[in-house]
Amino acid sequence: MLHNTFVQISDCHIDDNPQSMGVNTHLNLNRVINKLSNTKFDNLIISGDLANSGTIKSYQILKKALKKINSDIWVMPGNHDNIENLNTVFSENILDKLLLGKWEIITIDSVQENKTSGILTKKNLEKLDLDLSTSKAKYNLIILHHPIVPMNSNWDDSLSLENPEELFTLISKYPKIRAVLFGHAHQMSEFKQNNLQIISCPSTAIQFDEEERVGFNSYTLHDNGKLEYYTQWI
């Protein structure tokens, strides 16, 4: 196989009740899942804020909805998630590293306890450095929850990653890093820094810009190091 595929969804904000953030997050998520159930891809990655209040029930609702997906499912925490409850319900789905052909996806936890904005601790940066230095893959892709660049929208950038310069310093050591993906800002945007693609994933619940649809990003990782993607709006 000359390429591998995965889908990124983010910021589902599932709660015990369907109404959350002023919308029916259950209905919107199911619209996305119904579309994905008819789409062929290898892996599904949920990049944080699976739940809105972090209850066990909300994760159980989400897990039940995901049963329609015919691929491997991977999750990582966002600032709305309760780590203990997330790990309980999705114990077999927690994403750390994922090898896809000549690529390896590596996650870094940017969540701060009881804060909306993100930070990369010294410990987490050292872990990422170790993961990258020991990765046997030809290309790497990093996923975290918080934006690492100004979003150039009505999004409040003070709610993004507080120390992106430390991440960029680390990234500069590893030219095989081709892309960084994140969620949190509830909008689809792409940025470029040198040869690095920086891609924001829309929410399955509601967007914070003027986009009224929900959606997801679909990626193809080619063995020659090229990353292709598109945003599917619903």
pLDDT greater than 90 at residue 102:
yes
Average pLDDT, the chain: 97
Contact present, 178 and 172 (Cβ < 8 Å): no
Spell out the domain ranges in the chain.
3-233
123 φ, ψ to 5°? -60, -45
Superfamily of 3-233 according to CATH: Metallo-dependent phosphatases (3.60.21.10)
Share of the chain above pLDDT 70, in %: 100
C-alpha span between 14 and 56 (Å, rounded): 11
C-alpha span between 101 and 137 (Å, rounded): 8
pLDDT of residue 1: 56
pLDDT of residue 15: 98
The angle that helices 56-65 and 25-36 make with each other, rounded to 10 degrees, is 30
What is the pLDDT confidence band of residue 3, given thresholds at 50, 70 and 90? confident
**Which of 169, 162, 160 has the alpha carbon at shortest distance from 187?**
160
**27, 62, 70, 166 from 22: Cα distances, Å:** 12, 18, 30, 36
pLDDT of residue 2: 74
Contact present, 86 and 59 (Cβ < 8 Å): yes
Burial grade of 62 (CB within 10 A; 0-12, 13-18, 19 or more): buried
What is the pLDDT confidence band of residue 62, given thresholds at 50, 70 and 90? very high
Whole-structure pTM value: 0.97
